[in-house]
Every structure is written in C-alpha cells, then in structure tokens.
C-alpha cells in the first residue's frame, strides 16, 4: 500500500494537497486540540486523524502555542514571550506506531514538520529499524530554531547519509512552488512511483 504520513498536520494544509493523489491511506498526526475540528472536517473519510503527535516516547507533554503554526514541545528562540500559552498534549513513540500500523511491504511517504521533535522521531525510527519502511522522507528541521537543539539537524543528517535524495530530502530541496499545495505536489511529483 502507498501510505502518506503527515506528522505535524496542523489544520490540514498538507492533507488538502495530497487528497486525490492515489494514496491508499493518509494518516495525519496533530497534538493541538484546537486544530482537530478543521483537520477532521477536511479528512472526512479520506484520511485518519490521530489526536497526538509522534515522538521518541509515549507520554503527556506540554505543547507551546497550541494552534499556531510552529506550535511544539519546545519554545522557539524568537517566541519567548509566548511561554505561558500552553496545553497538555499526547505524544506516541513513532517506532511503536509504525510497528503496529505499517507493514513491511507498505510504501511510506513521510512528511515530518513537527517543530523540534523531528530529530528524535528520526533517531527513534533508525534505532528501531522502522525507518526501513520509509520509502521517502521530507523533513523540516525546526530544531535549528531552538537554542538547545540547534546541533541536532547536523547529527541526524549524518545518520541519514546512507539514504541519498530522493529518499531523504530537506524542505528546501523538495518544497518548490508558489503555494503549499504546489510545494507538496512538487516533492511528490519528483519521486519514482
């Protein structure tokens, strides 16, 4: 099966771009409760909305700036004034979810834009062997915007070196176009089928 995973789905911008592209399954992961109504309305019967984020552990965490673009488990350097705008959220260990829901023969297209968690998610998938199920990864390294995590993207990219483009692409390489829809479709359109 061709499966699209939208990790950091927000209110469905990427979902709107991938509906109708022939995926057998679309899964959207979003921990911010304020985003769920819009995401679920767009998803209807065409996608599954998971009311949690993916990370390297299963727990309840603090989500900063829920509902805003850039909401995450870490407060970005430029947004220190928003430190009191939080909500508890659920996160699930990515490798556990993969082991339960993705088969060895499935072809997974993974979009990771999860505001700092991307490094931990990739490490978890690599360490567990679940990354073998990922046919294509597009990752936005938001960790670079967080003082304590700025070093992580380089470490993770070094681990991903055995997986050259187009298997692994950063957003700057993949997201080309005037709108989010155009950029997502440019990425997917450039991949072997």
List per-residue pLDDT tens for the chain, 193 residues long.
Answer: 999 999 999 999 999 999 999 999 999 999 999 999 999 999 998 999 999 999 999 999 999 888 888 888 987 776 665 566 889 999 999 999 999 999 999 999 999 999 999 999 999 999 999 999 999 999 999 999 888 999 999 999 999 999 999 999 999 999 999 999 999 999 999 998 7
Residue range 36-47, pLDDT digits in tens: 999 999 999 899
Establish whether the linkage from the previous residue to 166 is cis, with ω within 30° of 0.
yes
In the chain, where the domains are located: 2-189
In the numeric block, which tokens belong to residue 153? 């993207």
In the numeric block, which tokens belong to residue 120? 């931990």
pTM here is 0.95
Torsion, Cα of 143, 147, 153, 158 (10° steps): -160
- φ/ψ (deg, to 5) at 24: -75, -35
Q: What is the rounded end-to-end Cα distance, in angstroms, of the chain?
A: 12
Residue range 103-135, pLDDT digits in tens: 999 999 999 999 999 999 999 999 999 999 999
The CATH code for residues 2-189 is 3.40.50
């Amino acid at each position: 099966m061709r499966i699209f995973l939208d990790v950091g789905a927000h209110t469905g911008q990427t979902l709107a771009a991938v509906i109708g592209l022939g995926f057998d399954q679309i899964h959207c992961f979003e921990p911010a409760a304020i985003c769920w109504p819009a995401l679920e309305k767009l998803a209807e019967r065409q996608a599954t909305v998971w009311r949690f984020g993916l990370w390297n552990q299963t727990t309840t965490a603090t989500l900063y700036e829920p509902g805003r673009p850039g909401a995450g488990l870490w407060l970005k350097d430029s947004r220190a004034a928003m430190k009191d705008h939080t909500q508890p959220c659920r996160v699930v260990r990515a490798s556990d979810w993969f082991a339960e829901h993705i088969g060895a023969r499935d072809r997974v297209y993974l979009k990771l834009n999860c505001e700092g968690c991307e490094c931990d998610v990739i490490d978890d998938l690599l360490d567990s062997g679940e990354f073998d199920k990922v046919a294509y990864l597009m990752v936005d390294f938001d960790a670079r915007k967080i003082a304590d995590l700025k070093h992580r993207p380089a470490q993770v990219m070094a681990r991903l070196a055995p997986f050259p483009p187009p298997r692994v692409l950063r957003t700057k390489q993949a997201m080309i176009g005037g709108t989010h829809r155009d950029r997502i479709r440019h990425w997917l359109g450039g991949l072997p089928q």
